[in-house]
Homo-oligomer: A and B are copies of this chain.
Amino acid sequence: MIGIYDQNGLDVQEIVFFGLYALQHRGQESAGIAVTDGNSISYHKGMGLVADVFDDRSMSELEGGKAAIGHVRYTTSSDGMYANAQPLVTKYKKGTMALAHDGRLVNADSLRRELEETGTIFQTSLDIEVIANLIARNIDMGLEEAIKHTMGMIRGAYALLIMTEEKLVAMRDPLGIRPLALGKLEDSFVVASETCSFDTIGAEYIRDVKPGEILVIDAKGLKSIQTPVPLESALCIFEFVYYARTDSTIDGISVYMARKEAGARLAAEQPVEADMVIGVPDSGTTAAIGYAEAAGIPFGEGFIKNRYVGRTFIRSSQHMREQGVRIKLNALRRMVKGKRIVVIDDSIVRGTTSKKIVEMLRLAGAREVHMRISSPPVRFPCYYGLDIDTSDQLIGYSHDVDDICKIIGADSLGYLSQEGLMKTLEGSGCGFCRGCFDGTYPIEAAGDSLEKGDKEKKNRKD
């Protein structure tokens, strides 16, 4: 998610295109860009990667100049259809708005039901459509007041971009669960989910948007409105574990440094005698370097990744499916053979990938395979987040570490402790949501916890 408000005659849609490109890891299902020329808003959206959705023709249909926002959407459940591509562009009493949302509301269903009671219709299954309706309902207060009012009603995780013909508004939920950063390109303000997109477009990082902060950017410049926030913020800790790109910096912490430090702490907590430390590409590499350095064991490449793996349209036969991960990854026999290997991954969710990783190393002749995970066991579902929905899919929910070790077939298995992980994030000055590790979710209000509880119970029964 990225937005820009132009003060310099920049080509805003091109900047947003390349910014989205750098954020592709945050969502591969659909991509979209909306642009305003000051008077009207045009947009283009489509299914697939940014580079699939946009070509010279579709870019030329965007008539811009003033501001633009772009969004990439994560694959979730069965909602993968065009109607759910963002930004959502709607007409309302005062004109047109384009809206983009990163995160998930916990009370979207009840708000949706309340709105439906009063006759509202919905054309998507997006939380942002609920938000657009709430803003439109209160627009007589003025846009800023309507947004503030809406923030009082919605609960959950959200970084939001709202663009009207004349303004770009960015905001972050009161707990600061999803990241959102402010940058500057020449004299124009840019807002994006991660700082790596600033580097790509040549923008300078200024600061993170604060939890509960609303930024209004228009011809008059930048204006900050701070809404009430809880005592402690709750940035999603999984951004550091997996979601964010390694070269981003979130709320003052370098993702790279945090991952490397996690590797080092993992070495201290879960030492093992071994000949080589390797990472599962790409997400385990940084922690593996940290582990190797701290443990004094040589770091090596144990896997080679096929750089061209993308969506292939060939359904593989049984014979080929058994080959499994080798289409994407190949173990480096020469490096691995006869060695005691420590292999580092960022997390274990279902356990199937870890099992294949261990198998491949054994087939390549590894003498011992010690799996080390640079975060604690994922044991609880995420209500604010993206793709871990029910506990029963989580191998860490139903099994202890010894069981998991047996299931994946490793000689030993060790996780970084929660305390260890927290230490890698020290000095950030922000709090973290660690619900997926310990089941303790940040609480905004009584009603919230209730709704969440209901969901969880339902999940556990399934």
For the residues of A in contact with B, the DSSP-based class is mixed
A247 proximal to B (CB < 8 A)? yes
A101 to B52, CA, bound (A): 31
- Choose from B200, B319, B323 the contact partner of A326 (Cβ within 8 Å): B200
CB distance from A77 to the nearest CB of B (A): 14
Cα distance, A257 to B332, chains bound together (Å): 10
Judged by a CB distance under 8 angstroms, whether A24 is at the interface is: yes
Q: Per-position contact with B for A81-118: 1 when CB-CB < 8 Å, else 0?
A: 01100001111110001000000000000000000111
Whether a CB of chain B sits under 8 angstroms from the CB of A320 is: yes
- Please tell me the number of chain A residues within 8 Å of chain B, measured between CB atoms: 88
A461 contacts the other chain (CB 8 A): no
Query: Chain copies in the assembly?
Result: 4
Task: Determine the chain B residues whose CB is within 8 A of the CB of A293 once the complex forms.
Answer: 298
Name the CB-closest residue of B to A326: B200
Q: A110–B299 Cα gap in the complex (Å)?
A: 52
Partner of A133, one of B25, B54, B121: B121
Q: Is A394 an interface residue (CB 8 A)?
A: no
Question: Which of A266-274, A301-309, A370-378 sits within the interface?
Answer: A301-309
From A13-21, A413-421, A428-436, give the one contacting chain B.
A13-21
* B289 near A299: Cβ-Cβ < 8 Å: yes
Measured between beta carbons, the chain B residues less than 8 angstroms from A306 are: 21-22, 24, 200
Chain A residues numbered 115-141 whose CB sits less than 8 Å from any CB in chain B: 116-123, 125, 132-133, 136-139
Given A59-B314, A286-B301, A308–B139 Cβ distance below 8 Å?
no
Chain B: minimal CB distance from A261 (Å): 11
**Shortest Cβ gap from A123 to chain B (Å):** 5
A246 within 8 A of B: yes
Q: From residue A154, how far is it (CB to closest CB) to chain B in Å?
A: 16
The listed residue (B122, B327, B332) touching A92 by CB distance below 8 A is: B122
- Which residues of B sit under 8 angstroms from A14, Cβ to Cβ? 314, 316-317, 319-320
- Find chain B residues with CB under 8 A from A299 CB: 289, 299
Note all chain B residues with C-beta closer than 8 A to A285: 301
Q: Is A440 an interface residue (CB 8 A)?
A: no
A202 and B323 contacting across the interface, CB-CB below 8 Å: yes
A93 adjacent to B122 (CB under 8 Å) = no
- Tell yes or no: A56 within 8 A of B by CB: yes
A415 nearest CB across to chain B (Å): 23
**In the complex, what's the smallest C-beta–C-beta distance from A139 to chain B, in angstroms?**
7
The interface residues of chain B lying within 8 Å CB-to-CB of A412 are none
A199 to B55 CA separation, bound complex (whole angstroms): 36
Of the candidates B17, B49, B286, B311, the one whose C-beta lies within 8 Å of that of A51 is: B311
Q: How many angstroms between the C-alpha atoms of A97 and B116 in the bound complex? A: 13
Residue in chain B with minimal CB distance to A146: B119
Contacts of A313 in B (CB 8 A): 51, 54-56
Known: A21-B306, A312-B21, A314-B59. A200 touches B121 (CB 8 A): no
Q: Which of B24, B88, B92, B200 contacts A116 (CB 8 A)?
A: B92
Q: Is A397 an interface residue (CB 8 A)?
A: no
Contact of A121 among B11, B132, B307, B331 (CB under 8 A): B132
Write 22 A-B pairs (CB below 8 A) sorted by A numbering.
A10-B319, A14-B314, A14-B320, A21-B309, A49-B308, A55-B313, A55-B314, A56-B315, A89-B123, A90-B121, A91-B121, A92-B119, A119-B136, A121-B132, A202-B322, A246-B301, A246-B304, A247-B304, A247-B331, A254-B334, A289-B300, A299-B299
